[in-house]
Amino acid sequence: MDVAVAVYDGVFDSGLSAILDVLDAANAMRGELPQPPPAWQVTTVGFRRRVRTGAGHLVATAPVAEAEHTDLLIVPALAERRPDALIAHVSGPDSAAVRSLVGDARGRGAPVASACTGTFLLAEAGVLDGREATTSWWLAPVFRQRYPAVTIDETRMVTTSDGVTTAGAAFGHVDLALAVVRMSSPALADLVARYLVVDERPSQSAYTIPSALAQSDPVVAAFERWARLHLEEPVDVGAAARSLGVSERTLQRTVRRVLGTSPVRFVQDLRVEQATHLLRTTDMSLDSIARKVGYEHANTLRILLRERTGSTAGALRGR
């Protein structure tokens, strides 16, 4: 497989190196399998011979024209954490060439892939419309608002939808590269992960900070504060709306628009966060913790913890 990795000014250094390192490791370890997959021919391409990364390093690149016939185009993330600056960059003239490269690749049917803030570049190029995608969990509200035609699921670590693969937050580039390897050989992907000591991370849920997501909108932020004060009580969305001075329908719609979920499910996320904190920092029994976060029975909390974090209550306490 011929893979082109696009390098552009401001590219996230660790994202670029993670992709190159994982694919290089896969090539080096192919021979350890009885039936090795074909090698990956990886070329870093750019719009100039030397490109400056987000950390200021210079990377030598091949002409971008070499990406015209590759089997896969990978676009690492942009080294930009500020939402406003990120949107300005990916939609502005500085990224026009990258957007065109992505659009051309999809236009001829070549798969494309990206992670973290790079998902914004793909969305801005229009190749994610009508598809499922993921991105950094903390950028999901901004992404959801700007690209309503994309079904964003920030709980996922990697998604593939109709030829476009996206991965989660910054070090999700490792997961993205392993997903590329897995498309050709699951056995080789597992081998590389073992050698590099990379744990399987199918979800970002365990890393999400609900309060950080809530700050994207004043109504949602106020609802988050209200919910934390009433965490031990049954969820009453109507009472919350009255306390905030909005209609219940407005609260439901605002939470859905910003977070892509319901108020009840968001409260569940807050309960999981608090329960996890109590498991790690106190000796309280699971029954006591369950009551502390609004559940009459510990088994209800036990099931929710496994569903949202992928871990048991015992494993969380052990950490």
From CA 317, how far away is CA 319, in angstroms rounded?
5
Q: Measure CA 160 to chain center.
A: 12
Locate 42 and state its tokens.
């990886």
Predicted local distance difference test score (pLDDT) of residue 199: 85
Question: What pLDDT band is residue 127 in, cutting at 50, 70 and 90?
Answer: very high
The 62-63 sheet, strands edge to edge: 62-63, 41-46, 2-6, 72-75, 112-115, 164-167, 158-161
High-pLDDT (> 70) share of the chain, %:
100
Within 13 Å and on the Cβ side, how many CA atoms surround 264? 4
From CA 198, how far away is CA 194, in angstroms rounded?
6
Rounded to two decimals, what is the model's pTM? 0.84
Asked whether the predicted pLDDT for residue 190 surpasses 70, the reply is yes
| Residue closest to 137 by CA, chosen among 214, 66, 192 | 214
Locate 220 and state its tokens.
């949602």
Question: What pLDDT band is residue 204 in, cutting at 50, 70 and 90?
Answer: confident
Q: In 53-185, which ranges are continuous DSSP H helix?
A: 83-91, 96-107, 118-124, 140-146, 172-184
What average pLDDT does the segment 40-48 reach? 97
Q: Measure CA 232 to chain center.
A: 31
Asked whether the predicted pLDDT for residue 202 surpasses 80, the reply is no
Asked whether the predicted pLDDT for residue 206 surpasses 80, the reply is no
Asked whether the predicted pLDDT for residue 254 surpasses 70, the reply is yes
Predicted local distance difference test score (pLDDT) of residue 319: 64
Strands 2-6 and 41-46: parallel
Written as one letter, the residue type at 94 is D
Residue with tokens 């490792």: 174
Predicted local distance difference test score (pLDDT) of residue 318: 75
pLDDT, averaged across the chain: 94
High-pLDDT (> 90) share of the chain, %:
87
Instruction: List, for residues 132-176, the tens digit of each pLDDT value.
Output: 999 999 999 999 999 999 999 998 999 999 999 999 988 999 999
